[in-house]
Structure 1
């Protein structure tokens, strides 16, 4: 419930202040350039911590007829108000040691002047300042709620910078950029609120009140200010403002504004007549102004520029996310829960799962079913229901989405009047260690309940892959005799446009009924090893996916002929020169890890295919080993020519083979156990592991790797999974 409140608060605050935030962000971007421009003037030739105040005073008094005051600004420029020997009153930027003129202050550029007034008050004076302060406060709340949502999404504060689950562009980078810019945005907003509160006198006074000691009556008026001990002790980096005595009479004195206090100093004796520290509110006000404007720091100005720009992206991406949620929102069902024969319950934190829920709902209605749709938390008794479908994602650390977090408790207490045939579909990402964990929990609990009968085993859908969903629909139709058709209602997939490919090479079918097929695109297209070829045997059937090796600009596939496989048998009949039409699906989470210190590739059977191309991408020749499991040595022969080339080029360091039906009769997980210490140390040193093959193999390999990391480096495998060092593409 709490996370739901934060989410809706985040949305409402953003919607209510969006227009003002756009204006504030655009003007903030413009104003971020002003401190950068000022810093390029170069009026700070020496470090001020190397210059004594006495040196600067002596140089000024020697160079000019009279010195009224000077200040040190945020860029460490010294701006002096002086009377020249010609009698002219001037403001000049001067050298801290010689007092020579370095430049003269320029008036604020009209663009910056206009933008400053717009940014501060919208040209509405006090009313405008109030609105700007209010929007700053709302922005602060938006950023804080956003921060809490990211912490929850990532599974806790300690996992804040762990890999972000792949998703559509706007959602993914809303999180990615949020992790980097929410803290600067909170600082911008909080300092904006503070400065606004100060303008409306809502904070304690920052004024410093002095009580001046009586000066000595008899003093030597020939002593020069530059000879006073106190000015020799103070370096110029401590100084903000020095105001010179109005007259040579002893009752007039120097006024010094330092970084943390103010001093009144006798002009002949150097005695401190008054010393007052600045109150906290004054120091906070100065710090807020610096943090809010970036004055004196090119680096912080650049951060403010990027943070202001990111706000515009957050507004855009947040709007896209909101529209998707609205578009995918599940409306009121035509039939009530007691009238319906088919119940569709869903759990989703971001609304992505809802697209599949809507597609299934429309497909069932098209098939003539009475359908009731509701969140999992609305679970109750269903008088006439015969079938129940549960579609759910997992949130955080294997937890239920907000609208499903009460379901398991209700499942224990609600007794169904009739037997229900159930199916559970889980949505998640293999990049996360607790892949589809909540869906697993739901399926396990349903098996324990009376009056529930499983129609199909739990299916897990990786990265919203609609092909897996369509494959489940086909299996459901085969099991039940239904004729559900849902493809027309599904969300748009991430396919590229259909392309034509020509067969340029095909091996003979080996003893394992496996062969290699090489395809050349008829037109130039972009793809990488690890992407997927999607071939649809018929228009109304789900496409079959094949992992791609990019080899000399062509697609290389490894295909096993299945007894009842439509696509695999069709591909086995193709000859050189034949053409097919297929799609390429991007699979970015299984591309070559360019920042890894080493790569360990693990595959069984046809899962070796993408590695034939991925190894070729090892241009830097970092340590790369391959572990492969097959039935016999003959199984390996179709891959050997390709891998031999990689071994000769040093792009592949070693090949480790496990044969389950020959020699020592090893499975790949047993082979990995022999090298577990080496693999664990590579992971610890920043290496990556890529796994491709069957899901059964994937599970067993992860168990071996987890044991290895616990044994040799005292860390669970999930630590490396969360860092994105374990890449999987299994089926």
Structure 2
């Protein structure tokens, strides 16, 4: 419900909302500009009587004195029969500059209020504002769901692309946009009679006045009792007419003043609904609240970006629904592939699986999970590929699946396997896939294999899952779908440092520079070959070795600012890509592409950073230390095999300790006399680790899955006295993993 309430109004009013937002941002500058040129006395410093006396001394033909919402004062006067208007200094009454409202801002205001039309334009603006109210409310609920609860809205968001941009901007802007939309809706509803009309506070003209000799304006009692801060305007009586009166309008009300006695006549207090409307106007425009106007203007600037990113998200979601791949129908298919996706990515993996199953002679039907039929009479294999949405929810193309599952009649012998897609940085990683796996088992289906997981669209993990399915089904599968654009650049090996041969763990630090002699196409631009693409330590380079079907990803230990691309690679037994890289000699070339990994980065700020790794996992951690030029507290816990054979980056780490980019180094070597692992060193240093976490430290772990699992167990033990656990730190963005 929330999604429809959010997306449909946005699609219907996107153009109007962008116009309202851009014009609103421009108008938000006006109050601040007016305030910057205004002289505003403190409350109680100047009375209206003093102001009038000072102004008339310099402007004998004064007809009206008006206090602008910005606090500035304007005098309207006649001089030799010619009207004029000046800004004045309320302290001295002297003129500052001629007053002329900006024609540009007036035109922008007309565009903002009514799209340069009359009532029809005002109606469109009002409806758009009301729909924005609905979008803000529904968007807030969706943000809460995505973040994992209302309390999590203050924590760092994870993810990337349009969803990340949309969520971050919405979180920043939602309160300001809601305030603008609510006040705009209110004023529009009043104008069109949907709410009570504002009743004016103008009193009737007095039936009797004294008609005596006009007193000195500075002595008039009613004016002396009125502070300048409350003034709206003061209209002077017609010259030489003792029966005319002053007309005074303030925040509290309006009345007439006898120019002889100074007494207030026919006073009328401002009605409550008029005061409310005035406040709504001030909150909407920022007039009189210039700082609020700038804040609302800044939030309005997000609307064009939110409109574009929201439209892109909607389009991807729409493309993700109603998809069907088939070489069979419901009645004849022996293999069913069900796909749950939010933005269409999972369908790419499903297509690869479908085509290879069909090529092996299977009769395959692939559909959205929401298109689950009541039964598949001939089916023997059911494969489910699904992502997870938000805090463990179903993606768009699977949001009706669990309900449909209650009516599903499985044929005898139907076996199933589930593969989940997600990002391990999210606490609810593949939660929906796990629910689907349990749901299928609950209705009596037999598992082909335990539920599998693909982290951040990993081709390698998809391939591994396919190999397991091939074994249990007897269908030859070589899954290799790569959803990452493979626009590649060419690199040449500059130098290498080799370690670990003596302990049967050959590991190399490889440094590449841009290949020379030709131009390479990167994205939409042609760059010279002596340039590197943009990347940071912690990002990934994808390399497809000769004869390989799927790229292998390696974490980067450098940034493009270093002028080199550096990776740390351990040679795996029968490893096609690692073997290829280990056989390179200086001058040899490779091709690769960058996959950015913004969810694995040290947080900004002065809190300590705890880096934990083993083996080649030290690569990106060293890159983080290298960039720590601000010398924030940074501690490294790392494990190898033998300090004489595979102490990776030892000279660099020593330099970083000396120049304070690295605050502390704690190493463990499993084949040294001490025979310790990195988790042992963390446990030995538990009190320091606990203190750093208690003071806001962030933990980044890089290396093998077994090591990461052992580290997580030790950290959980350390956190017990703090009533914390790793899951909580992960939700707060304070525990990040890059494991393989």
Task: Note whether the superposition's TM-score is higher than 0.5.
Answer: yes
> Is residue 147 of structure 1 aligned with residue 140 of structure 2?
yes
1:500 to 491, 505, 519: 491
Q: 1:499 to 1:467 in 2, by over 3 A?
A: farther
- Work out the CA distance in 2 between the residues paired with 1:97 and 1:442: 75
- Work out the CA distance in 2 between the residues paired with 1:261 and 1:512: 90
2:389 to 385, 395, 400: 395
The CA deviation at 1:38 is 4.0
1:559–1:568 CA contact under 8 A, matched in 2: yes
Residue pairs, 1:194-213, within 5 angstroms: 194-209=186-201
Secondary structure in 2 aligned to 1:550?
coil
Provide Cα deviations, 1:320-370, integer angstroms capped at 9, x if missing partner: 223323334342454444432222223334544344334434444454433
> Is residue 678 of structure 1 aligned with residue 688 of structure 2?
yes
- Work out the CA distance in 2 between the residues paired with 1:92 and 1:555: 65
Match of 1:356 in 2: 349
Secondary structure in 2 aligned to 1:21?
helix
Match of 2:615 in 1: 605
> Is residue 17 of structure 1 aligned with residue 27 of structure 2?
no
1:709 to 715, 719, 722: 719
The CA deviation at 1:428 is 1.9
Match of 1:534 in 2: 542
Secondary structure in 2 aligned to 1:651?
coil
Match of 1:59 in 2: 54
Secondary structure in 2 aligned to 1:681?
helix
- Work out the CA distance in 1 between the residues paired with 2:209 and 2:268: 24
1:496–1:585 CA contact under 8 A, matched in 2: no
Secondary structure in 2 aligned to 1:692?
strand
- Work out the CA distance in 2 between the residues paired with 1:638 and 1:65: 87
1:592–1:617 CA contact under 8 A, matched in 2: no
Task: Identify which range, 474-483 or 88-97, moves more after superposition.
Answer: 474-483
The CA deviation at 1:481 is 4.7
Match of 1:262 in 2: 254
1:8 to 4, 7, 13: 4
Q: 1:123 to 1:531 in 2, by over 3 A?
A: closer
Which runs of 5 or more structure 2 residues have no equivalent in the other structure?
516-529
The CA deviation at 1:675 is 2.9
Match of 2:233 in 1: 241
Match of 1:454 in 2: 448
2:201–2:254 CA contact under 8 A, matched in 1: no
The CA deviation at 1:73 is 0.8
Residue pairs, 1:645-664, within 5 angstroms: 645-663=655-673
Q: 1:89 to 1:388 in 2, by over 3 A?
A: same
Secondary structure in 1 aligned to 2:599?
helix
1:616 to 622, 626, 641: 626
- Work out the CA distance in 2 between the residues paired with 1:681 and 1:544: 38
1:79 to 66, 74, 77: 74
2:557 to 535, 549, 562: 549
Residue pairs, 1:682-697, within 5 angstroms: 682-697=692-707
> Is residue 171 of structure 1 aligned with residue 163 of structure 2?
yes
> Is residue 318 of structure 1 aligned with residue 318 of structure 2?
no
2:89–2:96 CA contact under 8 A, matched in 1: yes
The CA deviation at 1:407 is 5.0
Residue pairs, 1:375-454, within 5 angstroms: 375-376=368-369, 379=372, 380-401=374-395, 404=398, 407=401, 414=408, 416-443=410-437, 450-454=444-448
Match of 2:462 in 1: 469
1:722 to 698, 707, 731: 731
- Work out the CA distance in 1 between the residues paired with 2:617 and 2:393: 31
Q: 1:253 to 1:723 in 2, by over 3 A?
A: farther
Secondary structure in 1 aligned to 2:558?
strand
2:336 to 343, 351, 362: 343
2:638–2:678 CA contact under 8 A, matched in 1: yes
1:328–1:358 CA contact under 8 A, matched in 2: no
Q: 1:118 to 1:560 in 2, by over 3 A?
A: closer
The CA deviation at 1:724 is 2.1
2:158–2:599 CA contact under 8 A, matched in 1: no
The CA deviation at 1:507 is 1.2
- Work out the CA distance in 2 between the residues paired with 1:675 and 1:471: 37
The CA deviation at 1:581 is 2.8
The CA deviation at 1:446 is 5.1
2:556–2:565 CA contact under 8 A, matched in 1: yes
Match of 2:651 in 1: 641
1:35–1:294 CA contact under 8 A, matched in 2: yes
- Work out the CA distance in 2 between the residues paired with 1:64 and 1:638: 84
Match of 1:288 in 2: 280
The CA deviation at 1:587 is 1.9
Q: 1:332 to 1:393 in 2, by over 3 A?
A: closer
- Work out the CA distance in 2 between the residues paired with 1:313 and 1:276: 48
Match of 2:131 in 1: 138
Which runs of 5 or more structure 1 residues have no equivalent in the other structure?
none
The CA deviation at 1:17 is 2.3
CA RMSD, 1 decimal: 3.4
Q: 1:434 to 1:235 in 2, by over 3 A?
A: same
Provide Cα deviations, 1:259-300, integer angstroms capped at 9, x if missing partner: 243344555555554544433332232233333333345544
1:514–1:558 CA contact under 8 A, matched in 2: no
Provide Cα deviations, 1:302-321, integer angstroms capped at 9, x if missing partner: 44443343222222222222
- Work out the CA distance in 2 between the residues paired with 1:729 and 1:204: 60
Q: 1:449 to 1:200 in 2, by over 3 A?
A: closer
Q: How many residues align?
A: 719
The CA deviation at 1:75 is 1.5
- Work out the CA distance in 1 between the residues paired with 2:312 and 2:97: 50
Q: 1:524 to 1:222 in 2, by over 3 A?
A: closer
Task: Identify which range, 151-160 or 672-681, moves more after superposition.
Answer: 672-681
Secondary structure in 2 aligned to 1:646?
helix
Secondary structure in 2 aligned to 1:345?
strand
1:225–1:268 CA contact under 8 A, matched in 2: no
Secondary structure in 1 aligned to 2:417?
strand
- Work out the CA distance in 1 between the residues paired with 2:478 and 2:61: 91
2:49–2:220 CA contact under 8 A, matched in 1: yes
Provide Cα deviations, 1:156-181, integer angstroms capped at 9, x if missing partner: 2221232222232x232111111112
Give the structure-2-normalised TM-score.
0.87
- Work out the CA distance in 1 between the residues paired with 2:335 and 2:131: 44
2:87 to 89, 93, 100: 93
Residue pairs, 1:24-39, within 5 angstroms: 24-39=20-35
The CA deviation at 1:55 is 1.7
Task: Identify which range, 355-364 or 501-510, moves more after superposition.
Answer: 355-364
Task: Identify which range, 66-75 or 571-580, moves more after superposition.
Answer: 571-580
1:66–1:82 CA contact under 8 A, matched in 2: yes
- Work out the CA distance in 1 between the residues paired with 2:471 and 2:431: 27
- Work out the CA distance in 2 between the residues paired with 1:445 and 1:696: 29
Secondary structure in 2 aligned to 1:582?
strand
1:496–1:583 CA contact under 8 A, matched in 2: yes
- Work out the CA distance in 1 between the residues paired with 2:720 and 2:207: 75
2:448–2:469 CA contact under 8 A, matched in 1: no
Provide Cα deviations, 1:388-427, integer angstroms capped at 9, x if missing partner: 2222222333344465466567768856333334332222
